[in-house]
Structure 1
Amino acid sequence: MNAPQVQAPAGNPKRRKALTAVALVVALAGIGYGAYYGLVLSHYEHTDNAYVQGNVVQLTPQVGGTVLAINADDTDFVKAGQVLVKLDPADAQVALDQAEAQLAQTVREVRTLYANNATYKAQIALREAELARVQSDVARAQEDVNRRTPLLATGAVGKEEYEHATAQLNAARAAVASAQSAALAAREQLASNQSLTDNTSVEQHPNVQRAAARVREAYLAVKRSELVAPVDGHVAKRSVQLGQRVQAGTPLMSVIALNQVWVDANFKESQLKALRIGQPVTLTADMYGSKVEYHGKIEGLGAGTGAAFALLPAQNATGNWIKVVQRLPVRVSLDPKELAEHPLRVGLSMEAKVDVADTSGKALADAPRSTAVGHAAAIEASSAEADAEVRRIIAVNTGRAAPRVAAPAVSSSPAPGGHVASAAVRASVVAGK
Structure 2
Amino acid sequence: MTPQDSPHETSLARRLIVGGTVALAILVISVWFIAPGSVSTNDAQIDGHIHPINARVSGTITWVNPVVDDTHFVKAGTILARLDPNDYEPTVDRLQGDVQSTEAQLEAAKLNVQISEATSVSRLSAARAAVEEAQAEKATAEAQSLAAAASVAQANAVYRRAEDDRKRYFALVESHEISRSEYDQRATEAATAEAQMKQAEANLSAARQHIASAEQRITERKGDVLAAETAPQQIATARTNVQRVDADLRKARATLKDATLNLSYTEIVAPVDGVIGRKQIEMGQRIGAGQLVLTLSPPNEVWAIANFKETQLEHLKVGQNASIHIDSSGEDLQGTVESVGGATGAKYSLIPPENATGNYVKVVQRIPVRVSILPEYKHAPLIPGMSVEVRVDTRRSGSR
Same fold (TM over 0.5): yes
The answer for the alignment partner of 1:175 in structure 2 is 220
Q: Does the aligned pair in 1 maintain the 2:275–2:298 contact within 8 Å? A: yes
SS at match of 2:130: helix
- CA-CA distance at 1:123 after TM superposition: 5.7
Q: Distance in 2 between matches of 1:273 and 1:40?
A: 14
Q: 1:65 aligns with which of 46, 59, 62?
A: 59
Quick check: 2:279–2:295 contact (8 Å CA) kept in 1? yes
Match of 2:126 among 113, 126, 129: 129
- Using a 3 Å threshold, how does the CA distance of structure 1 residues 272 and 212 change in structure 2: closer, same or farther? same
Q: Distance in 1 between matches of 2:391 and 2:30?
A: 16
- Determine if contact 1:44/1:353 at 8 Å carries over to the other structure: yes
1:212 aligns with one of 253, 257, 264? 253
- For the pair 1:112 / 2:108, whether they are aligned, the reply is yes
User: Residue type of the partner of 2:268?
Assistant: L
The correspondence for 2:395, drawn from 357, 374, 379, is: 357
C-alpha contact 2:321 2:396 (8 A) present in aligned 1: no
Paired residue secondary structure (2:41)? strand
Structure 1 or 2, whichever has the larger Rg, is 2
Give the conservation status (yes or no) of the 8 Å contact 1:306–1:327.
yes
- Quick check: 2:148–2:207 contact (8 Å CA) kept in 1? no
Q: Determine the C-alpha separation between the residues in 2 that align with 1:349 and 1:226.
A: 37
Q: 2:271 corresponds to which letter in structure 1?
A: P
What TM-score, normalized by structure 1, do the two folds share?
0.66
CA change 1:197–1:320 in 2 (3 A) is same
Q: Distance in 2 between matches of 1:187 and 1:272?
A: 79
Number of residue equivalences:
321
Q: Which has the higher contact order (CA 8 A, sep 6+)?
A: 2
Q: CA deviation at 1:183?
A: 2.9
Percent sequence identity over aligned pairs:
31
Whole-angstrom CA distance in 1 between matches of 2:145 and 2:93: 75
Deviation track 1:104-142 (CA, whole Å, cap 9, x = no partner) reads 222122111122234445664356424412322213423
Structure 1 residue corresponding to 2:324, chosen from 265, 279, 283: 283
The equivalences for 1:297-376 within 5 A come to 297-340=336-379, 342-358=380-396
Question: Shift of residue 146 of structure 1?
Answer: 7.0
Q: Distance in 2 between matches of 1:223 and 1:251?
A: 18
Residues 69 and 167 of structure 1, relative CA distance in 2, 3 Å threshold: closer
> Deviations along 1:326-383, whole A, 9 cap, x unmatched?
000000011233221x2111111110010111479xxxxxxxxxxxxxxxxxxxxxxx
Query: Gapped runs of 5+ residues in structure 1?
Result: 1-31, 361-433
1:21-420 alignment runs, 5 A limit: 38-39=32-33, 42-71=36-65, 72-121=68-117, 124=120, 125-126=122-123, 128-142=125-139, 145=142, 160=205, 163-164=208-209, 166-184=211-229, 188-197=233-242, 205-289=246-330, 292-340=331-379, 342-358=380-396
Instruction: Quote the Cα distance in structure 2 between the aligned partners of 1:283 and 1:165.
Output: 113
Tell me how large the CA RMSD over aligned residues is: 3.2
Task: Describe the shift of the 1:76–1:182 C-alpha distance in structure 2 as closer, same or farther (beyond 3 A).
Answer: same
Provide the C-alpha distance between the structure 1 equivalents of 2:292 and 2:90, rounded to a whole number of angstroms. 26
Give the gaps of 5 or more residues in structure 2: 1-25, 155-199
What amino acid is the match of 1:47?
T
Q: In 2, distance between residues paired with 1:182 and 1:96?
A: 45
TM-score between the two structures when normalised by the length of structure 2? 0.72
Deviation (angstroms), 1:319: 1.9
